[in-house]
Amino acid sequence: MKPQQMIVRHKLFDRLCHWTIVVVGLVTFLTGFSFFFPSFQWLSGIVGTPQLAKVMHPFFGIAMCLLLALMLIRYYHHNKWNKYDLPWMKAVVWVLLQKEDNIPPVGHYNPGQKMLFRAFVIFVLAFVITGVMMWQPYFAPLFSPETVNWATLIHSACGILMLIALVVHVWMATWIEGSITGMLYGKVSRAWAKKHHPMMLEEEDHK
Amino acid sequence: MATQDIIRRSGTTDITPASQARIGAVKQVTKLFDATKCTGCKACQVACSEWNDLRDEVGTFQGSYQNPMTLSPDSWNIMQYHEVMDDNKLRWQFTHTACMHCADPACLKACSTAGAIVQHANGTVDFDSDKCIGCGYCASACPFNVPKISKKDNKAYKCTLCSDRLAVGLEPACVKTCTVGALRYGTREDMLFYAEKRVQQLKERGYHNAGLYNPEGVGGTHYMMILHDINKAETYGMPKDPQIPAATEIRQDWLKPLGTAGLLATAAFALMHRVTVGRNIVEEDQPGYVPEDNHEEAGK
């Protein structure tokens, strides 16, 4: 059997960025979850006490958002809409059922991933803006209580929506075997690319 | 204080409520402020600082006798000086501003932390500073803009109605010290009875719109006010129809259940999908894989 031919899907910088976001984001999400669901306050134990969680959450959150913004900028060119997206989207049920003969080809990212990309752009912006507005005791006093209250609602809603988006992200990453190896070590096999992102292979060959 | 005295606590679901053992014989209490009697002497402000061991920073003159201009983590009640013009004549209206001790408190509903805000059997609303994490949700939800976050320790503070004094049968420090009897304290029943008589008296004296400020939007308050003109509550610095803010209600009553359902549904769908559809593997990369067109050769 000939050895697998591997191609680079994620560069070292992006991989480091991704896994740093995972760690920082885990702390941000566990502490944030503990504020939204007081019954799960024990989740704030990830940083020690609920009081420490309140102090640390904004700093971890800012780090998460900055790194995420950096990654989104670096992956922007892979995530522009193109003419292959609509046919794929129409066949999304076949994607989930793994009937690969019915799935139109896509490039480096499929439309589902591009939608997730756009959702993350919105979340990053919303988190930073509303987060600063509700940041006690530094910035919150600069805004009216009503404004801070609405900011809190938007912040929490984005938290829940992003958590749902992350469940989908993890679901897909663990289902499509080879993805996590790709994000850990950077390379995927040519066969993997042909199966999931055929046009990425073409892009690669035209380099 | 016995924990059976706490009948409601923040961040707690209805499935696991605070102690409900007591049958309701504990009398509801109320502080009553009579704006028509107040002379703005600020003794209440001083007594509060004395009893609660607080000293606010000395501020600067802001064009009013009012000082400080707003409640703060170190000023739990303040005397507001409202300058009102009637028929080209200036007069003062004084408001003893402090926590309203709502029957249905927005702060308690908004709180991020289990048990950091509690309601006692007598109706008063209290903060447990030991549990408070300083998120500020109470400060942004309160329709009266009462709780304030301290920069010293990042905790929320407000009037406790001197819950420590009430527990041993004393009245709040501000009431104890009031020089003209504008502040009263007693059972809710007694205060409502007194207020009704006083409002009647004021009406007879020509204050036809005199009335009791006990806003229904927050279920009534355990701090009520007798005003010269109940239709002009805003001239006393009080909101006309205070409510639990919509943003707080949406977050707690809609976002929480819907968010929980959405999360669980997504996770459940993902799991079902994984189990039903099975692994998604690249066959070519599996050990021992033989390309289809080579099958015959391999068989030989």
Model pLDDT for residues B147-181, shown as the tens digit of each residue: 999 999 999 999 999 999 999 999 999 999 999 99
What's the domain count of chain B? 2
- The H or E element that residue B264 is part of is helix B256-277
Give the span between the Cα atoms of A44 and A35, in whole angstroms: 8
Statement to judge: residues B84 and B164 lie in one domain: yes
Statement to judge: residues B215 and B79 lie in one domain: yes
- Structural domain includes residue A1: no
Dump pLDDT digits (tens) for B212-248: 999 999 999 999 999 999 999 999 999 999 999 999 9
Catalytic annotation, pick one of A10, A78, A108, A169: A169
Q: How far is B297 from chain A (nearest CA, A)?
A: 14
Chain A residues closer than 8 Å to B250 by CB: 153
**pLDDT per position in chain A (207 positions), as tens?**
456 789 999 999 999 999 999 999 999 999 999 999 999 999 999 999 999 999 999 999 999 999 999 999 999 999 999 999 999 999 999 999 999 889 999 999 999 999 999 999 999 999 999 999 999 989 999 999 999 999 999 999 999 999 999 999 999 999 999 999 999 999 999 999 999 998 988 877 776
Give the span between the Cα atoms of B157 and B128, in whole angstroms: 9
CB of B2 closer than 8 Å to CB of B54 = no
DSSP-assigned letter for residue B108: H
Dump pLDDT digits (tens) for B89-103: 998 999 999 999 999
Q: Does B114 touch chain A (CB under 8 A)?
A: yes
Mutate to test the interface with B, among A136, A160, A166 (most CBs of B within 10 A): A136
Chain A residues closer than 8 Å to B267 by CB: 167
Question: B242: helix, coil or strand?
Answer: coil
Q: How far is B115 from chain A (nearest CA, A)?
A: 9
CB of B124 closer than 8 Å to CB of A24 = no
Give the span between the Cα atoms of A158 and A164, in whole angstroms: 10
Statement to judge: residues B161 and B237 lie in one domain: yes
Q: What was the pLDDT predicted at B243? A: 96
Domain containing A65 equals: 6-80+87-205
Give the span between the Cα atoms of B264 and B273, in whole angstroms: 14
CB of B262 closer than 8 Å to CB of A159 = no
How many other C-beta atoms are found inside a 10 Å radius of the C-beta of residue B94? 22
Q: Give the end of a domain, one of B226, B243, B260.
A: B243
Statement to judge: residues B193 and B267 lie in one domain: no
Q: What was the pLDDT predicted at A118? A: 96
The answer, as to whether pTM is greater than 0.90, is: yes
Statement to judge: residues B48 and B190 lie in one domain: yes
Statement to judge: residues B54 and B169 lie in one domain: yes
- Structural domain includes residue A118: yes
Domain containing B162 equals: 3-243
**Per DSSP, what are the bridge partners of residue B119?**
B8, B125
Residue A180 has, within 13 A of its CA and on its CB side, a CA count of 12
Statement to judge: residues B127 and B258 lie in one domain: no
DSSP-assigned letter for residue B283: G
CA distances from B243 to A176, B73, B127, B247 (A): 50, 23, 20, 11
Q: How far is B153 from chain A (nearest CA, A)?
A: 10
Instruction: Confirm whether A169 is a catalytic residue.
Output: yes
CATH number at residue B74: 3.30.70.20
Statement to judge: residues B97 and B132 lie in one domain: yes
CATH number at residue A140: 1.20.950.20
Q: What was the pLDDT predicted at A135? A: 96
Give residue ranges of A with CB < 8 Å to any B CB.
1, 4, 35-39, 41, 50-51, 53-55, 96-98, 134, 136-137, 140-141, 145-146, 148-150, 152-153, 156-157, 160, 163-164, 167-168, 171, 174-178, 189, 191-192, 195
Query: Are B114 and A41 an interchain contact pair (Cβ–Cβ within 8 Å)?
Result: yes
Q: How far is A142 from chain B (nearest CA, A)?
A: 12
**Ranges of chain B whose pLDDT falls below 70:** 1-2, 293-300
Q: Give the end of a domain, one of B224, B243, B262.
A: B243
Statement to judge: residues B229 and B82 lie in one domain: yes
Query: Are A54 and B135 an interchain contact pair (Cβ–Cβ within 8 Å)?
Result: yes
Q: What string of H, E and C letters represents the secondary structure of chain A? A: CCCCCEEECCCHHHHHHHHHHHHHHHHHHHHHHHHHCHHHHHHHHHHCCHHHHHHHHHHHHHHHHHHHHHHHHHCHHHCCCCCCHHHHHHCHHHHHCCCHHHCCCCCCCCHHHHHHHHHHHHHHHHHHHHHHHCCCCCCHHHCCHHHHHHHHHHHHHHHHHHHHHHHHHHHHHHHECCHHHHHHHCEEEHHHHHHHCHHHHHHHHCC
What's the domain count of chain A? 1
